[in-house]
Amino acid sequence: MNKIYNITQDMADKLHEGQVFKNFRALSEYLNILDKNGCAVCGSSKRQVMAELNRYVVLEKEKGSFCYTVKKIRPKTEILSPRPKSGNNKYGSNIKEIIRYQLSKISPEVENGNIDVFWTLDNIAKACGMINEDFDKPYTQVYDNEARVTDIINFKRKVRSSFKEYIYYALEEMKKNKEFISCNYTPVFISKELGCDKLHVPTEVELRDYNNLFSKVVHSFKKSSGEECENEQDIFLSGKSSYFYNELQNKFTDIFPYDTVYSMYHIIIDTTSIKRMRNNTNEETCLECVHRLNDAICENIPKLANIKRGRKVREEYIVYTQNGAETCSDYVEKSLSKTVIKKLVYALIYIPNEQKIPCENYIYNEVSNNEF
């Protein structure tokens, strides 16, 4: 799930009418609203920040520009009421039940103690029946005249973003209920040894160094406008994702003695909880949850606004001024048609009724000095 960034009165008091910021990143740095990598937030987090700021100030974005101008500071009597918190996770109960069943499959031969479980976002979604086996296949296998490769990439990216939020709510509730000790979505360093992946949970120093590296690589790329990229979304919109990840991979191996890095859910669970899950879950109930969850996902994903918005493309337009005509550009959303969305849902998400419970696809081991 995207982190919630709280805007306070003290932060708003730092602003004054007429103040101009050349872009959202400059505004974020001024108010110290940055993500864990030191980058400006993006996507739904950016919209949340702007909505919260709007409670205290009126910001105006100039057409054809990235600049933000503070038009008005709202008096305390005119500050807007706090926005309602959603937090409604309609998929949570099914996801939790499936996760319990999948974790109960950890070998009963494991001795008493704590167990580390590593799950990628795609694998946990697949294990819960939120996507099918074709989701991570090459794009060309679901490509036709109506669904362009860029549409498929964008669809997957936005679906992953939604799933990350649904899974976050489920795992947080399980953690609050003390069904496991801890759960974090974190970069994990991977070494290839004898054909097997050896995982390493980075130390605080390693994680800090990696986050600094990630931020530097992001800022080394330019938008179409010539400005620095502020986050991964800017990289994606500029069409340079493959170059970015190749550069990040090369820089990573130059600094760290590992082969690659991948973000995973890192769950620490004790064997007592696993035994309890084993006693309280069964295959029949889990299978019902898998199909119930998949049906709900197939029905509701096409209704999400961010899915229907499709991809953004850069379009140029002419602005006439006293000095003559100037060519400006902006990103315009190209909506996906209902037909394309329906095809992508069927190709990448839908699970037939006869399908059994998906494989768990996680890696687990007993805790041992950050190495697995």
Counting Cα atoms < 13 Å in the Cβ hemisphere of 24 gives 18
pLDDT value, residue 41 = 77
User: Closest Cα to residue 358, out of 159, 163, 102?
Assistant: 102
Do 342 and 252 lie in a common domain?
yes
pLDDT value, residue 85 = 47
User: Do the bridges between strand 68-73 and strand 363-366 make them parallel or antiparallel, or are there none, so unpaired?
Assistant: unpaired
The pTM of this model reads 0.69
Last residue of a domain, one of 52, 78, 104: 78
Do 102 and 51 lie in a common domain?
no
Q: What is d(CA 372, CA 370) in angstroms, rounded to the nearest whole number?
A: 7
| DSSP H helices in the chain | 9-13, 24-31, 43-56, 92-103, 121-127, 149-176, 204-219, 232-237, 241-255, 271-280, 283-300, 305-308, 338-348
Do 286 and 207 lie in a common domain?
yes
Torsion 136-141-143-148 (CA) sign: positive
**CA terminus-to-terminus distance, the chain:** 26
Q: What is the pLDDT along the chain (372 residues), one digit of tens a residue?
A: 445 567 778 888 888 888 998 888 888 888 888 877 777 777 777 887 888 888 888 888 877 778 889 888 888 777 876 654 444 456 889 999 999 999 998 877 666 678 899 999 999 999 999 999 989 876 655 555 555 777 787 788 889 888 988 998 899 889 888 898 989 889 999 998 877 888 999 999 999 999 999 999 999 988 767 788 888 878 877 778 888 999 999 999 999 999 999 999 999 998 889 988 988 899 999 999 999 999 999 998 888 877 766 555 666 667 777 777 777 766 666 677 788 888 889 999 999 988 899 988 888 775 444 555
pLDDT value, residue 1 = 41
In a domain, 319, yes or no: no
Do 21 and 164 lie in a common domain?
no
Q: What is d(CA 259, CA 267) in angstroms, rounded to the nearest whole number?
A: 23
Please give the structure tokens belonging to residue 11: 């932060």
In a domain, 87, yes or no: no
Do 70 and 201 lie in a common domain?
no
In a domain, 103, yes or no: yes
Query: Which of the 8 DSSP states describes residue 34?
Result: B
Count of domains in the chain? 2
Do 171 and 209 lie in a common domain?
yes
Q: What is d(CA 256, CA 191) in angstroms, rounded to the nearest whole number?
A: 10
pLDDT value, residue 129 = 94
pLDDT value, residue 16 = 87
In a domain, 149, yes or no: yes
In a domain, 85, yes or no: no
pLDDT value, residue 371 = 54
pLDDT value, residue 121 = 92
Q: Domain limits at 234?
A: 92-308+335-366
pLDDT value, residue 5 = 63
Do 53 and 169 lie in a common domain?
no
